Amino acid sequence: MRVKITLSYDGSAFIGFQIQKNETKTCQSVAGALTRALRHINIETTVVGSGRTDTGVHATHQVLHVDLPPFWSDLAKLQTQLNAFLAPHIFIQRITPVDDSFHARFDAKKRLYRYVLYDGAYQPFLSHYALHVKPLDVIKLNEYAQVFVGFHNFEYFKKLGGGKTKDERTIFKAGAYRYKHLIVIYFLGDAFLRSQIRMMCGSLLKACDGVLEYNDLIAQRDRKMKVSTTLIPACGLYLSRVFY
C-alpha cells in the first residue's frame, strides 16, 4: 500500500533532506532518519520526498510517499510508533493512503516557501530559525519581490552544480509581510532551482539596503548581468506547503 506522509522537521538537526553517503546517527539526513525509523518497525522501503531541502532548511509541511508491506494496515499506530522514534526533530502530522500511481515529487503542482527574518533585539534562541537583520522597510521589500513573479529563466539565481533540470520556473505569488519583529518573505512557485530562494532573498535584502537598484534585480532576472550571487543563511528558510 502506498501512503502519503505529511511531516514537519527542524532542519538545523540535519544535513538536508536527501540521504547522503556515510551518514551516521549524529550526522544524518531527514530521509535517512525516516528510513531508519521505518526499518526499526520492519518496513524496508524507499522514502520519496516532494523536493530536497538543504542543510539547515526547515519544513512545516513536507510531503513524501512510501510503500508499506501488507502487514502494516493500521496507519494511526504506524504514525504513533514513527513519531516516538523520530522525536524531537521530526513530527509526522498525518499518513493517508493514496493510489499506487501517486508520486510525491512529480505530482506536486505548487510549492510554498517562506524565509523568516527578525529585526528586533538579538535573540540567541532564534539563531537557527530566523535571520537577524537590521530594521527593514517591508513595503519596499514586498514591492521588490514582485520582480520575480511570472515565468522566467532563473539561471542567474541558482547555485552552481544544481543538476541538469530546466532553469525555467513559474512563480505565481511573491511578497513580504511583517508580524511584530518577524518579517516573512514568501514565494509560491511550481518548483525551484538549487538555492534559488536564498539567492533571491539575498538580492532583495541588498536592494532594500540600497546596495542594489530595482533595475539590477530585473537585469539579473532577465540574465543580462549578475549583480548578486549571495546565499543568505539557510536558518530562515521553510518549506511551508506542497500543493497537489
Contacts of 74-77 with CB under 8 Å at 24 or more apart are 75/3
Q: Which of 54, 119, 137, 222 is an active site residue?
A: 54
Verify cis geometry, omega within 30 degrees of 0, for the bond prior to 88: yes
Assess contact for 69 and 43: CB atoms under 8 A: yes
- Joined together, the cell numbers standing for residue 193 give 532551482
- 178's enclosing H/E stretch is strand 168-179
What's the CA gap between 111 and 56, in Å, rounded? Answer: 18
**At 243, is the secondary structure helix, strand, or coil?**
strand
173/127 Cα distance (integer angstroms): 27
Question: Is 113 marked as a binding-site residue?
Answer: yes
User: In the annotation, is 167 catalytic?
Assistant: no
Q: Which residues are catalytic?
A: 54
Q: Annotated binding site for substrate: which residue ranges? A: 113
